[in-house]
Structure 1
């Protein structure tokens, strides 16, 4: 599974991506995590499973979700504490949960397992 950690310029997301990779490796999970500046998101979406959006970009969530939905990629806004977290557990768990909530067609799932349509 490929995770994109998105922030404004890519600097703070680099540390989160590194912690996610270390945590995934410790759990023996086939996960890659990459930092991605917001300006390059559309070009980097192909092949991604989840976008983890920096909390400071929450005001851009609708636009990011719209762009990501076209590629069948889930989007999660990270909590404010994510950049100071010493491990990648919380971010990785959020990504795994989001990826598990997507149907094979890239649509969000209802709690009963069917795709949601809105």
Structure 2
């Protein structure tokens, strides 16, 4: 169905939660640029379990990759997809790098060929 906007629930996890607010704002911006809506919630690792209850995706800060087994186990109880946030999003360079991780494509008209990292492309993991 064309024109249908799906509202996703996305949890952004950083160690103590301080940088997750910054990352959550960048995720919101990228999702909005792609014409979608999402409820994006920043979360400290210690609060993850309660945030997972209605989440579709958990985006994890790269410095927490050592916690991925724990995070994946917790997310699997709720059927939540887990992915690591690209460093480019945390560095404020290319928010759109997050979109393939949550199943969203950036519309052609929103792609920016003048960015330092070039046009948006889904990069192989």
Note whether the superposition's TM-score is higher than 0.5.
yes
Equivalent residue number for residue 109 of structure 2: none
CA deviations on 1:56-106 (whole Å, 9 max, x unpaired) are: 010010111000000110111223343103342112332227xxxxxxxxx
Deviation at 1:18, TM superposition (A): 0.4
Equivalent residue number for residue 65 of structure 1: 72
Q: 1:15 aligns with which of 13, 22, 29?
A: 22
Equivalent residue number for residue 95 of structure 2: 88
Structure ID, larger Rg: 2
Deviation at 1:32, TM superposition (A): 2.0
Whole-angstrom CA distance in 1 between matches of 2:103 and 2:18: 23
The residue correspondences of 1:1-118 to structure 2 (distance < 5 A) are 1-96=8-103
Root mean square deviation of aligned Cα? 1.6
Whole-angstrom CA distance in 2 between matches of 1:61 and 1:45: 14
Whole-angstrom CA distance in 2 between matches of 1:10 and 1:92: 21
Uncovered stretches (5+) of structure 2, i.e. residues with no partner: 1-7, 105-125
**Count of residue pairs the alignment pairs up:** 97
Whole-angstrom CA distance in 1 between matches of 2:102 and 2:54: 15
